[in-house]
Amino acid sequence: MTAPDGSAAPADQKRAIERAMTHVADLIGHGHRVAITHGNGPQVGNILLKNQLTAHVVPPVPLDWCGAQTQGTLGALIMNALDPIPAATVVTRTLVDPGDPAFHDPVKPIGQYFSVVEARRFQALGQTWREFERGWRRVVASPRPVQILDAAPAVALMEAGYTVVAAGGGGVPVVRDADGRLHGVEAVIDKDHAACALAQAVGADILVIATDVPHAIAGYGTPEARPIGSVTPKEMRVLQAEGHFASGSMGPKVEAALRFVEEGGAKAVITSLDNIAAAISGNIGTTVNRES
């Protein structure tokens, strides 16, 4: 069921998480140690809308607070869905560089579509809004993750036998001041780039990016469209350079998979949720394999 703001109702979100976690439980049942991360776009959109509707009554919360809140909510739902498998959620901060060029060119759309009148009102408050096909939407910086700051507790929990939920929504974006103090920033870190950074930080052998489709597609939307199976990083870089992967969808997944393998990971898989257990043992989905 869809609410009037276009988002899924809590019961439907819970059901989707339960469905996803049956596949993760399958992996754990086969003896794999798992760190889970997730997006949070719809949930942050929900908080932003409440911010806007209630700003005259309660102070709106900043974007890094929205990220932290959604990590808690989604982490709790994931842990319930995995029960009785021992699981723990780490509220995770991701360090970003205040000099990242993304802060000068905000491109990540967040929240709902609004009319130009409302967009102008928020622009006057200092926010960046852009016009899309369906209306006006706020855009924020999407800087690259520099470091998953809370990787150490995630690793300790994994070593103690917990399945860990971490870096949800790309992690709570923080920068370090000149005086060494950390503070949150108005940004959204791409979840796929953060997944790569988390996988590296916990020493994962395999990065699995679960999505709606079983494969990345070369020539998407053309008569030559073909699913991409097992590839080397070099072959995938060629396809990437030919422009096969859209920036807002498959692009970051492909880049995250490539970086993971190029920087020492054994393999990275992009596939649909129901394939993830099979993807670990075989070459199912789009698999970037380290060259031997």
Tell me which residues touch ligand CP (CB under 6 A): 39-41, 169-170, 188-191
* List of residues 6+ apart from 105 with CB closer than 8 A: 141
Residue recorded with tokens 């959620």: 89
Closest separation in Å from C-beta 194 to ligand CP: 7
Considering only the C-alpha atoms of the chain, give the largest distance between any 2 of them, rounded to a whole number of Å. 61
Rounded to the nearest whole angstrom, what is the least distance from the CB of residue 108 to ligand CP in the complex? 7
Nearer residue to ligand CP within complex by CB, 97 or 235: 97
**Which single residue brings its beta carbon nearest to ligand CP?**
39
Nearer to ligand CP, 209 or 280 (CB): 209
Q: Which is nearer to ligand CP, 229 or 248 (CB)?
A: 248
Beta-carbon contacts of 176 under 8 Å, excluding residues fewer than 6 positions away, are 95, 182
State the Cα–Cα distance between residues 171 and 156, nearest whole angstrom. 18
Rounded Cα distance between 187 and 67, Å, is 10
| CA-angle at 249, arms to 206 and 94, nearest 5° | 60
C-beta of 135: minimal distance to ligand CP in Å?
A: 18
Identify which of residues 95 and 189 has a Cβ nearer to ligand CP in the complex. Answer: 189
Residue nearer to ligand CP on the CB measure, 110 or 236: 110
> Around Cβ 209, how many Cβ atoms within 10 Å?
26
CB of 191: closest distance to ligand CP in angstroms? 4
Choice between 39 and 143, CB closer to ligand CP: 39
What burial class does residue 233 get, using C-beta atoms within 10 Å of its C-beta: 0-12 exposed, 13-18 middle, 19+ buried?
A: buried
Q: How far is the CB of 24 from ligand CP (least distance, A)?
A: 18
Q: How far is the CB of 46 from ligand CP (least distance, A)?
A: 12
Contact 265, 200 (CB under 8 A): yes
